[in-house]
Structure 1
Amino acid sequence: MSSVCVNQALTDDELRWVLTRLDSDKDKEVFGLVCKRWLHLQSTDRKKLAARAGPHMLRRLASRFTQIVELDLSQSISRSFYPGVTDSDLVVIAEGFKCLRVLNLHNCKGITDTGLASIGRCLSLLQFLDVSYCRKLSDKGLSAVAEGCHDLRTLHLAGCRFITDETLKSLAERCRTLEALGLQGCTNITDSGLAELVKGCRKIKTLDINKCSNVGDAGVSVVAEACASSLKTLKLLDCYKVGNESISSLAQFCKNLETLIIGGCRDISDESIILLADSCKDSLKNLRMDWCLNISDSSLSCILNQCKNLEALDVGCCEEVTDIAFQDLGSDNVLGLKVLKVSNCPKITVTGIGKLLEKCISLEYLDVRSLPHVTQVRCSEAGLEFPKSCKVNFSGSLTEPDVLL
């Protein structure tokens, strides 16, 4: 039989079908090494790209990979002394990658409002933007993005300390489909800004205002009411102005809340947590309330008894918590907890941990650091049996899961 050339036998669509059936990225790269035709097909079919390049190389990448929808130019912390992407790079990106929907510029400290203006002018399809720790950015640049990227769904601004309420007002006016907003460490954000935000953005599912020290009960309460049906994740770490009024509002309006971070909110007490446990008993999965010094056995017991879908709980440094919180669990209750942190709770003993283990058969990580009555030796002497897959942190030597960050 005479030999048949693959390139003569198969059409472009058939070769693309072969390419889609390759599972590993390595195999897809090898596909492009066969010949120029296969390289062209591989390039035009590629949707994601991660790179570190200057303007000249970015232009070449844009001409080769014409259908890129996800571009990752982020920098790791280990490269924090490099500026990363610059404004001139962003001009090339905005003009060359017209199909972009996802753009990650995390920790690219060289970009300014001028570069963001290019994104706003050219990337109207953009849905995800991460400019966390791009510390030169201000309201001017973010307003330009809001002006041109009306379909924006996710925006991460952590560490952008010059951002103020003006950015939230711009988002409310132009990005009404916004679902996730990260504002960690944006200390100029206030209650007034959150009130402006939810006038237009009522579909927010995830809101991270960790370490926004000027946010208090008024801002959280207005978010809870405006985004009642959509809000699933709220992070309020070290927002020391947040108290019981905020938690009561969440209990009243947000029945679908899944993740709540209130670590360091020291004015929160049992009264509002009990309301939350009753209201969100079917939805709550992750709860972090370390350093909530007014939390005691009554609210913790209520959470463990009512929140049947709870997977991660942190009550570290809640010094009023004792073994009683675990002794009141119902006889038929089997908890689905996978992560539990009770470090620096001096009144908890081996007895309490033993009671907990009877109910937590799915536990994967247990933090018992700095418990004077709970040591590895004492647990062994008491005959405690931890689940086989459970990592027990007695001394801080284990890597902590990031589910509650």
Structure 2
Amino acid sequence: RSHISKLYPEILALIFSYLDVRDKGRVSQVCSAWREAAYHKSVWRGVEAKLHLRRANPSLFPSLVRRGIRRVQVLSLRRSLRDVVQGVPNLEALNMTGCFNLTDAWVSHAFVADMDSLTELNLSMCKQITDNSLGRIAQHLKSLETLDLGGCCNVTNTGLLLIAWGLKKLRSLNLRSCRSVSDAGIGHLAGMTPEAAEGTLDLEYLGLQDCQKLTDEALRYVSVGLCNLKSINLSFCASVTDSGLKHAARMPRLRELNLRSCDNISDVGMAYLAEGGSRISSLDVSFCDKAGDQGLLYISQGLFHLRCLSLNACPVSDDGIGRIARNVTDLHTLHIGQCGRITDKGLSLIADHLQQLRCIDLYGCTKITTVGLEKVMQLPHLSVLNLGLWQKQIR
């Protein structure tokens, strides 16, 4: 029998590629042959290096390059960001989440030439970043497909105009809690304002959670200009109303719509979605306290492509759930946590009709008993049941 030490380097590299990151590092310390195999680029394909940039380490970046690592997350930043950009020349993904001390000056210092390899940039919670940084990013990172600006509270409509000018390949943009952004900024992205030229028309995901200045006008811009959009998050956008959903219903490729905690969404909005021919497969109206059984009736009459429906804390009853269960039979995820009017009757209807259900949230449903639960647990594909602050894996 051959000992493992006699295996060809290519075979060792294949074996090492299945190890977790920590073990990949450990096997490289066994012997010189294993070290050579462990440094093969195939071993590290897709791995993200997590770095604390504190003091100079001359061997760090050559080591990353040798292993073919092109994805980097900076956990803490106490030296120049430019070291990363220059040290990993074919960088594909840079994650700076929570680097609170990152400033416009550091961004300007780092990005001084075009970087065609970089397709993902995460600046979420980098709260000192302003539109000035977005200008530099739009100028030099034109290959970006994913940009996360969640929590960057100093970003304004001007920054979105710069994005619209420069980042034509952008597919995913997260603007969560960018509270200075208004309808005009979304108009820039959609190419609907005179200044914006074409806009970022390839966008497929737009995260607008907690952008509190946005109104139905933003949805009008999106529906006309961003025809490729598949998913939009409008949760906590309190000024978006039922009228805005008329625009959302017209979007031919929209599949995911998050309206969680949108206080002005009601049953009427559900009617607009259903009557407008929306083909959404995922809808979240959790904590919308004006969306009740009548809204579920509208959904059951028109949103036949739904696979995931979240109704947590909505004023729905067994009657509404029954309409969904009988008519939207391909649902695989149903969240009805904190729906205090749901009883075992509702669970029985779910068990009888939603045979494809894989995940159900029943946290805080105070009127259900083990009788209803036992029926639900007989569903053939059910794998996740949430009854509290924990989830139970069924099988």
TM bracket, shorter-chain basis: 0.7 to 0.9
Say whether residues 1:270 and 2:262 are aligned partners. no
Q: Secondary structure at the match of 2:280?
A: coil
Deviation larger for 235-244 or 114-123: 114-123
> Are 1:58 and 1:92, in contact at CA under 8 Å, matched by a contact in 2?
no
Which amino acid letter does the alignment assign opposite residue 303 of structure 1? I
Spell out the pairing of 1:74-89 with structure 2 (5 A cutoff).
74=75, 84-86=76-78, 88-89=79-80
Query: 1:103 matched to which residue of 2?
Result: 94
Query: 1:138 matched to which residue of 2?
Result: 130
Say whether residues 1:178 and 2:170 are aligned partners. yes
Query: 1:162 matched to which residue of 2?
Result: 154
Residues 72-105 of structure 1, C-alpha deviations (whole Å, 9 max, x = no match)? 224xxxxxxxxx124x331211111110011111
> Are 2:204 and 2:231, in contact at CA under 8 Å, matched by a contact in 1?
yes
Distance 2:253 2:276 in 1: 9
Which amino acid letter does the alignment assign opposite residue 176 of structure 1? K
> Are 1:119 and 1:145, in contact at CA under 8 Å, matched by a contact in 2?
no
Which amino acid letter does the alignment assign opposite residue 70 of structure 1? R
Distance 1:119 1:193 in 2: 26
Spell out the pairing of 1:209-358 with structure 2 (5 A cutoff).
209-228=208-227, 230-252=228-250, 254-279=251-276, 283-304=279-300, 306-319=302-315, 321-328=316-323, 335-358=329-352
Spell out the pairing of 1:191-206 with structure 2 (5 A cutoff).
191-199=183-191, 200-206=199-205
TM (normalized to structure 1)? 0.81
> Are 2:363 and 2:389, in contact at CA under 8 Å, matched by a contact in 1?
no
> Are 2:343 and 2:368, in contact at CA under 8 Å, matched by a contact in 1?
no
Structure 1: gaps spanning 5 or more residues:
75-83
Distance 2:112 2:392 in 1: 42
> Are 1:290 and 1:318, in contact at CA under 8 Å, matched by a contact in 2?
yes
Q: Secondary structure at the match of 2:126?
A: coil
Report the count of equivalent residues. Answer: 373
The 1:63–1:328 alpha-carbon spacing in structure 2 relative to 1, beyond 3 Å, is closer
> Are 1:107 and 1:132, in contact at CA under 8 Å, matched by a contact in 2?
yes
> Are 1:178 and 1:201, in contact at CA under 8 Å, matched by a contact in 2?
yes
TM (normalized to structure 2)? 0.83
Deviation larger for 118-127 or 241-250: 118-127
Distance 1:119 1:288 in 2: 40
Which amino acid letter does the alignment assign opposite residue 206 of structure 1? Y
Structure 2: gaps spanning 5 or more residues:
192-198
Deviation larger for 339-348 or 51-60: 51-60
Deviation larger for 37-46 or 257-266: 37-46
> Are 1:16 and 1:41, in contact at CA under 8 Å, matched by a contact in 2?
no
Q: Secondary structure at the match of 2:162?
A: helix
Query: 2:70 matched to which residue of 1?
Result: 69
The 1:111–1:251 alpha-carbon spacing in structure 2 relative to 1, beyond 3 Å, is same
The 1:397–1:291 alpha-carbon spacing in structure 2 relative to 1, beyond 3 Å, is closer
